Amino acid sequence: MSRVGKAAISIPQGVDVAINNGVINVKGALGAMDMAINPLVKVQHADGKLSFAPADETSAADAMSGTVRQLVNNMVLGVSKGFEKKLTLIGVGYKAAASGTKLNLTVGYSHPVNIEMPAGIKVETPTPTEVVIKGADRQRVGQIASEVRAVRPPEPYKGKGIRYSDEKVAIKETKKK
């Protein structure tokens, strides 16, 4: 059996979990999320814990039990604590400004780049060169952060561009005569 799938999820205070007709609903302080449960996985809710088990002995069911467990764990963490990604702008004149649900980037193009944030995603700019993307859905937060980074990815010679705060960019050596 999957090692990840064996671990039960303890449900924190303030989070409600309901399982109805193959759909799991998770509600918390930061929102509500739902997900269809794969038929290869059995989910049991008892004593404030969720446990996952494969429905049969196939390796696909075993793998899927670990996957579904981790997805549900991300939902529980998302509605209770939330997820965030930090981006850093590196370059002369590169700056970001958040206004409501829009992120305005000035990153060396002849025009500013405006990115509209979808519902459930918040963006903050603590300093003009830092962007913090927050939300309850881990996948969407990562996807939006990736799309913002793709506006001007870090280049390998000077390191200018938008990068994750924990990302290391390998700087190449320039051409020698």
- Please indicate, yes or no, if residue 72 is contained in any of the structural domains: yes
What CATH number does the domain containing 141 carry? 3.90.930.12
Residues 67 and 98 in one domain: no
Q: Which domain holds residue 152?
A: 83-164
Query: What's the whole-model pTM score?
Result: 0.88
61 within domain boundaries: yes
- Stated as kind and residue range, the H or E segment containing 113 is strand 113-116
In the prediction, which pLDDT does 163 show?
A: 96
pLDDT greater than 90 at residue 2? no
Q: State which of 57, 80, 103 marks the end of a domain.
A: 80
Enumerate the β-bridge partners of residue 52: 43
Question: Nearest to residue 132, comparing CAs of 161, 109, 103?
Answer: 103
Question: What values do phi and psi take at 77, rounded to 5?
Answer: -65, -35
- Boundary residue ending a domain (47, 63, 80): 80
Percent of the residues in the chain that have a pLDDT greater than 70, as a whole number = 99
- For 69-81, the pLDDT digits (tens) are 999 999 999 999 9
In this structure, are 123 and 72 located in the same domain?
A: no
Same domain, 36 and 89: no
Give 24-76 pLDDT, tens digit per residue.
999 999 999 999 999 999 999 988 899 999 999 899 999 999 999 999 999 99
What is the tally of helices (H) and strands (E) in the chain? 3, 13
CA distance 164 to 86: 6
The answer as to whether 174 is a domain residue is: no
Based on the domain organization, do 89 and 160 belong to the same domain? yes
Same domain assignment for residues 29 and 69: yes
Q: What is the chain's Cα-based Rg?
A: 21
